[in-house]
Copies of this chain bind each other. A is one copy, B any other.
Amino acid sequence: MTYTLILSHPDTTSFNHSLTEQIVLALEDEGHQVRVHDLYTEHFQPVLENEEIRRRFSFDELFTRHIRDLREAAGIILVYPDWWGMPPAILKGWLDRIFRPGIAFDHRGEEFMPKEKIPLLTGKKALVISTTNETNPLTQDGMYEIWRNRVFDYVGVDRVTFKTFYGIRESSARDRRQWLKEVVDLTLHWI
């Protein structure tokens, strides 16, 4: 199987990068292929401009690769730090630009009439991994609800698995070693 992994942390020495490395190794060990998109390294441009909305397409080669990888993936993996209860702007913009009509969903119906929405990512599953300095699990409720009901449900992805690693700033090296093992188990259980 092929998976697409979207990593959104600005520091290449981050724990988000370590988590990504473990996920990739785990999947490759099982014979799967993972296409990793490190949005910061790719200099992904997150601003959806008006002309791209009207044209319904970008000619950007990176954009085209993202769409191909999303289409071919059995599963979508997101790895990001919680910033203000949400993903960083670069990941929000990945959603804005890649989850577009004709790619993630479509509208069908007669002209001038209310349209029926058709999800286009049905059959895929999602794994959403975040890190936070907060220690209270309640802090994630709003975002889990949005990922589940406003994002993935809309495009037909109904199997969404969440994992948040809490208290990153205060964590010990031992905590983090343990979490890297946990993320491998989680990934193998998710596929």
Contact = CB atoms under 8 A, between A and B. Distances in A.
Given A114-B170, A170-B114, A46 B149 contact: no
Instruction: Quickly give the copy total for this chain.
Output: 2
A145 B150 contact: no
Contacts of A88: 47-48, 92-93, 96
Contacts of A53: 10-11
Q: What's the dominant secondary structure at chain A's contact region?
A: helix
A151 B139 CA distance: 11
A109 interface: no
A66 B21 CA distance: 37
A170 to B, nearest CB: 7
Interface in A34-74: 40, 46-50, 53
